[in-house]
């Protein structure tokens, strides 16, 4: 059953200069970012991360909650849809040695530059057509990824997450609760093509039969 839950509550909150970023984003910047290449991960800050490097302080505080919530053990399996360079998967396998993990990302650059420990377990793939059989994973997660697709493809991605999971999944998506958050979200956004209100997302989940857990990203 779908449930709103913040499984990332221990992820460090960045101290962002929102006004500066809101003023600096252009349509040209968004076109570059949506290629999800070097410019997005390791190029100029206005095109994305401005340097996407492994830092244990980000995911290590989060993994224990994943472990507890899903009762993860060395016998569990987990897929990360939109795994980027595999940093989260690296920390997960460090905490739970032996766990079966896989990661997919649409970015060839990210997969080519994945952290060494995860290179054998990550591959290029589109979320709308995951290269795995039905019921392949105990848990499937997708953090700030599927909203980068248009609405129709976003629905297909959610259905693919349902298909390859054994019933447990978690996603986060760009969302807003009021007009102020909506205005900031659209100005802040670099890559998302599907941005909806919280209520619209919940309705959408029902329409496409997504039954996993979820939470929201707002700037």
Task: Give pLDDT tens digits along the chain (219 positions).
Answer: 689 999 999 999 866 555 555 556 788 889 888 999 999 999 988 888 999 999 999 999 999 999 999 999 999 999 999 999 999 999 999 999 999 999 999 999 999 999 999 999 999 999 999 999 999 999 999 999 999 999 999 999 999 999 999 999 999 999 999 999 998 888 888 999 999 999 999 999 999 999 999 999 987
| Token pair of 168 as six digits | 């447990």
Domain tally, the chain: 1
Range of the domain at 92: 3-13+20-217
Question: DSSP letter string over 57-88?
Answer: HHHTTTHHHHHHHHT--TT-EEEEET-TTSHH
CATH of the domain at 192: 3.40.50.150
Is 101:127 a contact under the CB 8 Å cutoff? no
Rounded (to 5) percent helix, strand, coil in the chain:
40, 20, 40
């Amino acid at each position: 059953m779908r449930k709103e839950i913040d499984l990332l509550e221990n992820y460090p909150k960045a101290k962002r200069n929102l006004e500066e970023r809101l003023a600096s984003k252009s349509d040209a910047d968004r076109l570059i970012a949506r290629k999800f290449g070097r410019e997005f991960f390791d190029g100029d800050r206005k095109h994305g991360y401005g340097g996407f490097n492994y830092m244990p302080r980000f995911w290590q505080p989060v993994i224990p909650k994943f472990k507890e919530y899903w009762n993860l053990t060395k016998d569990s399996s987990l897929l990360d849809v939109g795994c980027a360079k595999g940093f989260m998967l690296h920390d997960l396998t460090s905490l739970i040695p032996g766990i079966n993990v896989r990661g997919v990302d649409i970015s060839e650059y990210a997969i080519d530059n994945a952290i060494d420990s995860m290179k054998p377990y990550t591959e290029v793939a589109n979320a709308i057509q995951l290269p795995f059989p039905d019921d392949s994973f105990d848990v499937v997660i997708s953090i700030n990824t599927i909203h980068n697709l248009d609405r129709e493809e976003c629905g297909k991605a959610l259905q693919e997450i349902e298909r390859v999971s054994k019933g447990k999944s978690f996603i986060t998506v760009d969302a807003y609760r009021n007009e102020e958050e909506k205005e900031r979200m659209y100005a802040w956004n670099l890559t998302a093509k599907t941005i909806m209100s919280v209520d619209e997302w919940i309705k959408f989940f029902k329409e496409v039969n997504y039954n996993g857990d979820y939470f929201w990203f707002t700037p």
